[in-house]
Amino acid sequence: MSNEATLHSHQEVHGSLEHDQHGNGHDGHEHHGTFISKYVFSMDHKMIAKQFLITGIVWAIIGAFFSVLFRLQLGFPDTSFPWLSSILGHWAENGHIKPEAYYALVTMHGTILVFFVLTAGLSGTFSNFLIPLQVGARDMASPFMNMLSYWFFFIASLVMMASLFVQTGPASGGWTAYPPLSALGDASIGSKIGMDLWITSMALFVVSQLLGGLNYISTILNMRTKGMSMTKMPLTIWAFFFTAVLGVLSFPVLLSGFILLLFDRHAGTSFYLSDIFVAGKALSNEGGSAILYQHLFWFLGHPEVYIIVLPAMGIVSEVLAINSRKPIFGYLAMIGSLFAICILAFLVWAHHMFVTGLNPFLGAFFVLLTLLIAVPSAIKVFNWLTTIWRGNINFTPGALFSIGFVSTFISGGLTGIWLGNSSIDIHLHDTYFVIAHFHIVMGVSAFFGMFAGIYHWFPKMYGRFLNNTLGYIHFWITLCGAYLIFWPMHYEGLAGMPRRYYDYSTWESFKQFAGLNHFISIVVIMVFATQLLFVFNFFYSIFKGRKLTIANPWKATTLEWTTPIHAGHGNWPGEVPEVHRWPYDYSKDGVDFIPQTVPIGPNESEH
């Protein structure tokens, strides 16, 4: 009832634009909204989810393509690629990417993938799509704010895109944008107008995240259907909930860091600047601390990696349980470990700063708290393993990517134990070991979670299936490719090879890896081509995929599959169903699955 009330009251405020749409949603009729209100300025959480997803895919192609470009430089430093000059112009004269362009590509690759793809594209898509559907709400708490969340993201995207085309190039100080490098246009060409656009875009992005996050939290807390107590929610929802909490509490700190940076750039303040001599003259700034920025940045930056990986964890838990035909093992422990990760995420930021001159005594606490995160992570891994143990696993592409997620999460997570220990970090910090670690644990893993989600919920989104064979090809090549790319990088890191180098050929200590870099770059190109295959599959299947004929193709228990194949705005044609049980009654008492809407029978065993 409260859902309906919200929807109607909201309609009175903003009624003129989408009156028809709202009125009809839960009457089961087709929409009669205009193209604009249905596909562009839609307030339907399902459409907004698709907008986030497709924008995310576009960004993912761009961001991944950038990595192909800079891998060309790393893998083939002596080869000239004339076509590079055609697309990059003076940034790649004679077919060689210039250092300035290389650093711009590296920076934009990081920014795009971390924020625009794995935050907006992953949590934006699935939080929007699944929260109302799985908790049994007709839409978000505020559909209007939800729409704004997407459009702020869209404007942030436009600004970031524009920064690629300014004369001095986009930001090029790394995705972390440490000052003074990012504060002084004289220190780096990318710190001129490109950096202002980067800050503007990120500020808009933070607004988008806050609008989205507040909505996710209030929807989960207030708009669950009858019977849907917190402990009857699927783990996806728990994961999105903690993700949103992390975002709401940490993004404002990042914004404050950016605002101080903006002041230092243009208002002559000295928050981050002190004792600097650049471009032949000493600056007047004194007393600032360049390290202050790093504290503010990593106070978001570390929770950010959990913002990226928690939704993937939630999706994987759900998809593994469904396709193993077993309940997720240790449901409460799974929630507990998500909660523990969420709390610890705020208490470990300085492990990115062990070599900044941080007080060693203070560093000790960050070591302790960082390694503590391995405990809830281990619990989750063992629970996933037990979930598939003695299951009856149907290898849908979604299930494959979930298994791939667990594999990469183990491999990448364990190296976190190395880096979290400050004594080891002092050697491995800012080397390829770090690149290998975080690409496996939050890059590849989060992408696997995202792919699992896309393959699994695509039928709910578009009423059609993705092509399975392409899905299998996509999975196996990506899994093998990811390991071939990142596993050997650990060795480069152990030799101390620094990250973010344009060329290693002059270094006696690192040039022995030229052959390996060559190999990695070739694999990168192949894996990138395979992702394009997925993109093709995605867009082709929206229009031509095999049609969904039954409402619940995976025989899942959760509420989203009780909606019609093409659910209108409002999700359920009639009453929102009532929930009677937890979402993991698979193979209970010999029954394949019992939907959440089925009341507990008199002879049913306790779970």
Q: Which of residues 296-355 bind another protein (CB under 8 A)?
A: 324-333, 355
Nearest distance from C-beta of residue 146 to another protein, angstroms: 34
Of 158 and 364, nearer to another protein (C-beta) is 364
* Region from 130-138, 225-233, 288-296, 558-566 binding another protein, contact rule CB under 8 A: 288-296
- Neighbouring-strand partners of residue 474: none
Nearest distance from C-beta of residue 317 to another protein, angstroms: 13
Of 189 and 338, nearer to another protein (C-beta) is 189
Using rule CB under 8 A, residue 158 touches another protein: no
Nearest distance from C-beta of residue 454 to another protein, angstroms: 17
Of 154 and 507, nearer to another protein (C-beta) is 507
* Region from 117-125, 185-193, 211-219, 310-318 binding another protein, contact rule CB under 8 A: 185-193
Nearest distance from C-beta of residue 589 to another protein, angstroms: 8
Instruction: List the x/- string, 121-140, binding to another protein by CB under 8 A.
Output: --------------------
Cis peptide before 143 (omega within 30 of 0): no
564 Cβ contact list (under 8 Å, min separation 6): 28, 551, 573
- For residue 391, how many C-alpha atoms fall within 13 Å in the half-sphere facing its CB? 22
Q: Nearest-5° angle of CA 374, CA 379, CA 382?
A: 120
Using rule CB under 8 A, residue 550 touches another protein: no
Of 2 and 392, nearer to another protein (C-beta) is 392
Instruction: List the x/- string, 71-110, binding to another protein by CB under 8 A.
Output: -----------xx------------x-xxx--x-------
Nearest distance from C-beta of residue 196 to another protein, angstroms: 18
Of 232, 586, 595, 596, the residue at the interface with another protein (CB under 8 A) is 586
CA distance 444 to 109: 14
Of 529, 575, 599, 600, the residue at the interface with another protein (CB under 8 A) is 529
Using rule CB under 8 A, residue 286 touches another protein: yes
Residues touching another protein, count (CB under 8 A): 133
* Region from 14-22, 157-165, 240-248, 369-377 binding another protein, contact rule CB under 8 A: 369-377
DSSP-assigned letters across all residues of 54-118 = HHHHHHHHHHHHHHHHHHHHHH-TT---HHHHHHHGGGGGGG---HHHHHHHHHHHHHIIIIIII
Using rule CB under 8 A, residue 558 touches another protein: no
Q: Nearest-5° angle of CA 343, CA 306, CA 172?
A: 125
Nearest distance from C-beta of residue 494 to another protein, angstroms: 5
Which residues ranging from 417 to 446 are in contact with another protein (CB under 8 A)? 417-418, 421-424, 426-427, 429-431
Which residues ranging from 509 to 528 are in contact with another protein (CB under 8 A)? 509-510, 512-513, 516
Query: Which candidate, 409, 436, 426, 443, places its Cα nearest to that of 492?
Result: 436
CA distance 392 to 390: 7
Instruction: List the x/- string, 187-226, binding to another protein by CB under 8 A.
Output: xxx-------------------------------------
Of 40, 87, 364, 600, the residue at the interface with another protein (CB under 8 A) is 364
Of 126 and 455, nearer to another protein (C-beta) is 455
Of 91, 151, 346, 502, the residue at the interface with another protein (CB under 8 A) is 502
Of 416 and 570, nearer to another protein (C-beta) is 416
Of 97 and 148, nearer to another protein (C-beta) is 97
Backbone dihedral angles phi then psi of residue 315, each to the nearest 5 degrees: -60, -45
CA distance 590 to 20: 46
Using rule CB under 8 A, residue 495 touches another protein: yes
CA dihedral 261, 267, 270, 276 (to 10 degrees): 90
Using rule CB under 8 A, residue 19 touches another protein: no
For 430-458, b/e burial (b = at least 16 CB within 10 A) is ebbbbbbbbbbbbbbbbbbbbbbbbbbbb
Using rule CB under 8 A, residue 415 touches another protein: yes
* Region from 115-123, 256-264, 269-277, 450-458 binding another protein, contact rule CB under 8 A: 269-277
Token pair belonging to 576:
């929102």
Using rule CB under 8 A, residue 367 touches another protein: yes
CA distance 128 to 244: 11
Nearest distance from C-beta of residue 471 to another protein, angstroms: 9
CA distance 282 to 280: 7
- Residue 167: exposure state from Cβ atoms within 10 A (0-12, 13-18, ≥19): exposed
Of 17, 347, 393, 461, the residue at the interface with another protein (CB under 8 A) is 393
CA distance 100 to 194: 12
Of 206, 341, 403, 441, the residue at the interface with another protein (CB under 8 A) is 403
Nearest distance from C-beta of residue 430 to another protein, angstroms: 4
Token pair belonging to 445:
């893993």
Q: Name the one residue in this structure whose structure tokens are 């849907």.
A: 228
CA distance 89 to 299: 38
- Residue 132: exposure state from Cβ atoms within 10 A (0-12, 13-18, ≥19): buried
Using rule CB under 8 A, residue 392 touches another protein: yes
Using rule CB under 8 A, residue 551 touches another protein: no
CA distance 361 to 97: 43
Using rule CB under 8 A, residue 147 touches another protein: no
- Neighbouring-strand partners of residue 3: none
Of 273, 319, 454, 556, the residue at the interface with another protein (CB under 8 A) is 273
Is 271 in contact with 264 (CB distance < 8 Å)? yes
Which residues ranging from 460 to 489 are in contact with another protein (CB under 8 A)? 467-470, 472-473, 476, 479-480, 483-484, 487-488
